[in-house]
């Protein structure tokens, strides 16, 4: 694949990942990290960028997104994908993107409630762009993303050339365990689960550019992943630095969106709010377009559903939920997201280590079971629904429970055992020789 195509797909990938949350979250993290900015961001980038990048690389090696769950029984595989695309699609991520785009992109400039009109237009534009399947790389990768990068670059240049002040004093969490806190916060972005969804779009885009053999697809995926990882890391570092040097305007700030709004008002004046509005709307739009395509691609490939019909249903549900039921849906879907994320990461790690064949079905099912059970425990803990007695017990016996990753060590342990058994089964003569030597 030509380098310009790799760059274009990499830009598209970056734009799809860069939602409003990815823009709002880093400034507040930087504000809390302060002088511990560098170690905190090193930890943050490992999980916020490293996990999604690993997911994309695994997809590139598999050459087909559906291969990720090939070792699972078909009903379990379908249940995973349907739940994932429902959660990151019309039930959670997409309605949130629409409402955030409205709250930060339009509401500051108008009076009254225009959410219904805004969401209708936003969803329509999303649908129109999603229908341009063959031109998605051209529209997002070659047009929309460069504009987004230029707007973000304006923020980055201002932050590093004319910071508002010195680095802040870090909060207690970042004074003594900056790297660990960064790792936890990066994991909580949940971009790893988005990477599993976006994998369908990225692999298809690579195939559409003429890559057919597994070697070509893997090579192209590596290039795309490097572009994504570089741009996303640069974006996170710049936005976090904005927060780390904005202590003078941060009094009473409770979230990164509020801090970023104050920052652009001070640095860019009246035009700052328009700059921020443009960044947020563009970021949310590229995310909803990508997720609409990912959902439709999956249903078309798995159930032979017409692409246009599935995309339209996803977009309509997104618009309806954004207007009438977001809070209720979030209450229901957030636990699903928190549970699905460990399962998705566990599947990616397993596919990275073991071949995704039916011969390894027991290993895949076991690891999914472990990540599901302990992911549920973590989700209940995050939501404050875990009984105090059980929480104390988990904190005592489950490694990384306080980091909301109690599933990680057991999954790695199960993965090591599975790999050892798999290696031994491939070389039965080794076991016979060892037995003979023992005798």
Query: What is the rounded distance in angstroms from the CA atom of residue 108 to the CA atom of residue 120?
Result: 19
Share of the chain above pLDDT 90, in %: 63
Residue 395 CB coordination number (10 Å) = 12
Q: Which domain does 374 fall in, by range? A: 354-424
Q: Are residues 284 and 361 in the same domain?
A: no
192 is a domain residue: yes
Q: Are 311 and 131 in contact (CB under 8 A)?
A: yes
Tens of pLDDT, residues 163-183: 899 999 999 889 988 999 999
Q: Are 354 and 360 in contact (CB under 8 A)?
A: yes
Give me the pLDDT at residue 31, please: 95
**Terminal CA-to-CA distance of the chain, rounded, Å?**
57
Q: Are 167 and 34 in contact (CB under 8 A)?
A: yes
**Quick one: three-class SS letters along 139-197?**
HHHHHHHHHHHHHHHHHHHHHHHCCCCCCCCCCHHHHHCHHHHHHHHHHCCCHHHHHHH
Query: What is the rounded distance in angstroms from the CA atom of residue 433 to the CA atom of residue 439?
Result: 10
Collect all residues with Cβ–Cβ distance below 8 Å to 146 and sequence separation of at least 6.
11
Tens of pLDDT, residues 298-325: 999 999 999 999 999 999 999 999 987 5
Looking at 325-387, list the stretches that DSSP marks H as alpha helix, in order from N- to C-terminal side: 326-353, 361-382
Is 56 or 332 the better-scoring residue by pLDDT?
56
Of 325, 341, 375, which residue constitutes the final position of a domain?
Answer: 325
Q: Are residues 240 and 294 in the same domain?
A: yes
Q: Are 174 and 41 in contact (CB under 8 A)?
A: no
Q: Are residues 387 and 307 in the same domain?
A: no
CA 405 to chain CA centroid, Å, is 16
Tens of pLDDT, residues 37-59: 999 999 999 999 999 999 999 99
Burial class (CB in 10 A: 0-12, 13-18, 19+), 64: middle
Q: Are residues 320 and 374 in the same domain?
A: no
52 is a domain residue: yes
Give me the pLDDT at residue 325, please: 58
pTM above 0.85, yes or no: yes
Q: Are residues 403 and 254 in the same domain?
A: no
Query: What CATH number is attached to the domain comprising 99?
Result: 1.20.1740.10
Q: Are residues 244 and 375 in the same domain?
A: no
200 is a domain residue: yes
Instruction: For CA atoms 69, 70, 73, 74, give the dihedral sign.
Output: positive
Tens of pLDDT, residues 122-146: 999 999 999 987 777 777 888 888 8
Tens of pLDDT, residues 180-221: 999 988 988 889 899 999 999 999 999 988 888 999 999 999
Q: Are residues 88 and 221 in the same domain?
A: yes
Number of domains in the chain: 2
Residue 313 CB coordination number (10 Å) = 17
Place 328 in a pLDDT band, splitting at 50, 70 and 90: low
Query: What is the rounded distance in angstroms from the CA atom of residue 34 to the CA atom of residue 84?
Result: 36
Query: What is the rounded distance in angstroms from the CA atom of residue 204 to the CA atom of residue 217?
Result: 10
Query: What is the rounded distance in angstroms from the CA atom of residue 201 to the CA atom of residue 157?
Result: 32
Query: What is the rounded distance in angstroms from the CA atom of residue 395 to the CA atom of residue 413?
Result: 19
Q: Are residues 183 and 119 in the same domain?
A: yes
Q: What values do phi and psi take at 331, rounded to 5?
A: -60, -35
336 is a domain residue: no
């Amino acid at each position: 694949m030509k380098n310009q195509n790799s760059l274009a797909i990499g830009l598209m990938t970056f734009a799809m990942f860069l939602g409003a949350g990815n823009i709002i979250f880093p400034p507040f993290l930087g504000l809390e990290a302060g002088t511990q900015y560098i170690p905190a961001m090193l930890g943050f980038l490992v999980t916020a960028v490293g996990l999604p990048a690993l997911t994309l690389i695994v997809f590139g090696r598999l050459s087909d997104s559906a291969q990720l769950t090939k070792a699972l029984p078909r009903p379990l595989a379908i249940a995973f994908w349907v739940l994932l695309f429902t959660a990151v699609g019309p039930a959670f991520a997409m309605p949130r993107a629409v409402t955030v785009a409205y709250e930060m992109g339009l509401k500051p400039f108008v009076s009254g409630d225009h959410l219904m009109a805004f969401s209708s237009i936003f969803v329509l534009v999303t649908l129109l762009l999603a229908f341009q399947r063959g031109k998605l790389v051209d529209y997002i990768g070659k047009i929309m993303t460069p504009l987004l990068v230029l707007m973000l670059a304006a923020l980055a240049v201002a932050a590093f050339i004319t910071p508002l002040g010195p680095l802040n004093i870090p909060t207690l969490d970042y004074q003594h365990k900056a790297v660990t806190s960064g790792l936890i916060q990066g994991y909580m972005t949940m971009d790893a689960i988005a990477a599993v969804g976006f994998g369908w779009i990225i692999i298809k885009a690579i195939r559409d550019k003429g890559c057919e053999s597994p070697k070509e697809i893997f090579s192209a995926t590596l290039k795309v992943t490097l572009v994504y990882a570089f741009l996303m890391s640069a974006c996170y570092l710049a936005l976090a630095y904005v927060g780390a040097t904005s202590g003078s305007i941060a009094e009473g700030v409770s979230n990164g969106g509020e801090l970023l709004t104050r920052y652009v008002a001070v640095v860019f004046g009246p035009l700052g709010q328009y700059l921020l509005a443009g960044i947020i709307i563009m970021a949310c739009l590229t995310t909803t377009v990508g997720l609409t395509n990912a959902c439709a691609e999956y249903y078309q490939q798995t159930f032979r559903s017409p692409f246009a019909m599935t995309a339209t249903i996803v977009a309509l549900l997104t618009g309806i939920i954004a207007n009438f039921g977001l809070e209720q849906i979030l209450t229901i879907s957030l636990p699903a997201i928190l549970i699905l994320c460990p399962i998705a990461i566990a599947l990616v790690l397993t596919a990275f280590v073991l071949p995704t064949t039916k011969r390894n079905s027991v290993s895949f099912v076991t690891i999914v079971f472990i990540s599901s059970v302990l992911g549920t425990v973590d989700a209940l803990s995050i939501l404050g629904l875990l009984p105090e007695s059980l929480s104390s017990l988990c904190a005592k016996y489950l490694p990384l429970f306080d980091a909301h990753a109690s599933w990680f060590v057991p999954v790695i342990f199960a993965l090591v055992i599975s790999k050892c058994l798999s290696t031994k089964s491939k070389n039965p003569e080794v076991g016979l020789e060892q037995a003979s030597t023992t005798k």
